[in-house]
Structure 1
């Protein structure tokens, strides 16, 4: 089986040599190409495209891909890409966490983070939503994001105690349960909820779940515009993904039956009114909860395979753009959907992998609980 996979991958690598230079980073819209490819052929095409061009992508994107591939395959080679991510975030955590007690730092950095949201319609809505919570972006999208990632790799980062103290003193519940906030970015908020619990600074789950359901009652679905419907479904998938610690282990479906039943009952609208990213996540939600035989999965796979463009060797954006740096998320999700493993892999715990252990940043320390973790 391994030799067969190698043979298939090699054939796609040879094919890619004639295609990638002109299409891998094309930003213009392209006309969709129909095909009759199998799920495995689509998987191999996307994988070859991404891995051939991986080092041309930003470190954040390299890390995102490598982490997910490690959790799908357990292959140590993907730990090296994850190390790039750790090196980047450890340095950033050092800057943010170690300056939290500096007068004016939280206020000034929070404003910088808010300004990064941009100026489009969605960005404007998000800026309006966070206006009552001026420090929220720093607490959530910086401190919680970096701390949780370092934790997932089996470490604590620089100035950990100061960061934890700061986050414990910051009550995030008003922001997390604000309807305007939920309507602006539901999926991100449930990520923050789980990250806060993961690093031990607050348990906001029940409050957020209640606020989410109150914001998006099913009885109001007919009134939702496409943008808000996408936000609702995207948020629902992230309840499940966050509970899996982002594809590290299966999730008990009991707590999330309300979500799975909703997806099953509304799959036709989901396929029509949302994007390939969200549609794929709906399919993965069934796989990660042990419901791979649900008819929704087959419908989603059919849709995702049809969305693949063999000339581009990727699934382009909803606007038809083929750009790997922004499309990696959509395409690695498709890979996961089309080749879901029997076993998921935790980590990678970089201190327990020989190829990464000697290159760890000095800014992090292995967690005590990692001392007994098995090497991969």
Structure 2
């Protein structure tokens, strides 16, 4: 069960009285954030950041790079250069393997079946949905989860694989619209599909953003939110938040609220329900979605910041999972999002629009400049 203790911590952190603040509600008169309140949020972000930076070299390369890339895109601090290099090496290795070993339709099929079997037999709702939905489209596990994600990240670095033409030819053998518009696929992979349809557009390949957006709205009509399981409600909100993330190319440039008005309207109308039912990483993503649209003073931002600040374990200096798990590796995603939400740095310079090509001075073998 997810424990909420926002009112008590709001009293301790921000001086709000328990009468002023309900379980998941911030009253309008409290939405004028003071300098002290903002300072407290920044202090909380630094608390988590210090915890993770002290342990970065104990994390797996993927998680190490995930944290460092986001911190670099917020701060452009060169101390994160190693994180970007590690990510570039991971991308180069993956794309080289795909170009040489997962090239033919049969190789793609066999690789995908191995990935699918990893989901088989798992009992949690998310895994069961993913297994059942992807049985009809096993190649998706290779194309979307592996190939496309690596090609897009290389592209953001100003790089491409030396066999880029071959990799694009593999992508073009398949119609991504089949995955992006299938209701059961959306209910299993909403956030991932949101990323992937924007990555395809980013790479100049198939554009199925509209098909996915329509499919997501049909799969999750707002009037039926109350019928969704907690997992499915989180999947819906996670999918919405990743549309915004993907449109920003992951924090590289602002998005226009008007381009996604239906999402921002939904958030504003349902924020209290989101706070009650969603995990902390999803709550943080909703708040960051507003920051990406330069809506820093929207009441939703303060509500999400209060929720995330209140969720911090003050003894261990991090946001635990909904079950109380404090393991650093498993918690990196939610905690790096918490840092970004609580101490948003904005969009720093024109240079940030191209991620980090200059900092990856010598691309690892297999990657070349675009």
Q: TM-score, normalised on structure 1? A: 0.85
Are 2:160 and 1:153 aligned? no
- Deviation for aligned residue 1:181: 0.7
Report deviation, 1:100: 3.9
Q: How far 1:101 sits from its partner (Å)?
A: 3.7
Question: Separation in 1 of the partners of 2:316 and 2:157?
Answer: 33
Deviation at 1:40, TM superposition (A): 2.0
Where do 1:310-349 residues align within 5 Å? 310-344=314-348, 345-349=352-356
CA displacement at 1:97 relative to structure 2: 2.1
**Aligned position for 1:174:** 178
Distance 2:88 2:103 in 1: 24
Please say if 1:212 is aligned against 2:216.
yes
Q: Tell me how far 1:195 sits from its aligned partner.
A: 1.3
Evaluate the alpha carbon distance shift between residue 225 and residue 47 of structure 1 in structure 2; reply closer, same or farther with a 3 A threshold: same
Aligned positions of 1:79-98 closer than 5 A = 79-98=81-100
Corresponding residue of 1:107: 109
Q: 2:135 aligns with which of 112, 131, 136?
A: 131
2:102–2:111 contact (8 Å) kept in structure 1: no
Q: Deviations over 1:210-267 (max 9, x none)?
A: 1111111112122222211111111101110000001111101111111011001101
User: Paired residues, what number?
Assistant: 335
In structure 1, what is the Cα distance between the partners aligned to 2:51 and 2:307?
20
CA 1:211–1:157 in 2, change beyond 3 Å: closer, same or farther? same
Q: Distance in 2 between matches of 1:297 and 1:103?
A: 46
Deviates more, 1:98-107 or 1:43-52: 98-107
| Pair 1:299 & 2:306 matched | no
* Cα offsets for 1:44-102 (capped at 9, x unmatched): 11011100000000000011011101111111221221110111121111001223444
Match of 2:21 in 1: none
Which residues in structure 2 correspond to 1:246-285 (within 5 Å)? 246-285=250-289
Deviates most, 152-161 or 110-119: 110-119
Change (3 A) 1:30 1:184: closer
1:163-189 CA-to-partner distances (Å, cap 9, x unmatched) read: 101111211111211111111121111
**SS at 1:261's partner residue?**
helix
Query: 1:65-84, aligned counterparts within 5 Å?
Result: 65-84=67-86
Q: What is aligned with 1:19?
A: none
Question: What residue ranges of structure 2 are gaps of 5+ in the alignment?
Answer: 14-39
d(CA) in 1 for partners of 2:236 and 2:207? 22
The residue matched to 1:357 in structure 2 has which SS? coil
1:231 aligned onto 2:235: yes
**Cross-structure match for 1:363:** 366
In 1, Cα distance between the equivalents of 2:115 and 2:99? 15
Question: What is the SS of the residue equivalent to 1:266?
Answer: helix
What's the secondary structure of 2:190's corresponding residue?
helix
Deviation at 1:343, TM superposition (A): 2.0
Greater RCO, 1 or 2 (C-alpha within 8 Å, sep 6+): 1
Question: 1:342 Cα deviation (Å)?
Answer: 3.3
Q: Which runs of 5+ in 1 are unaligned?
A: 1-28, 368-376
3-state SS, counterpart of residue 280 of structure 1: helix
Q: How far, CA to CA, are the matches of 1:328 and 1:116 in structure 2?
A: 23
Structure 2 residue matching 1:156: 3-state secondary structure = strand
CA–CA distance in structure 2, aligned partners of residues 187 and 67 of structure 1: 19
Structure 2: distance between partners of 1:362 and 1:132 = 36
| Counterparts in 2 of 1:158 and 1:109: CA distance versus 1, 3 Å | farther
Distance in 1 (alpha carbons) for counterparts of 2:216 and 2:4: 38
Is this contact kept in 2: 1:193–1:205, CA < 8 A? Answer: yes
Distance 2:228 2:355 in 1: 40
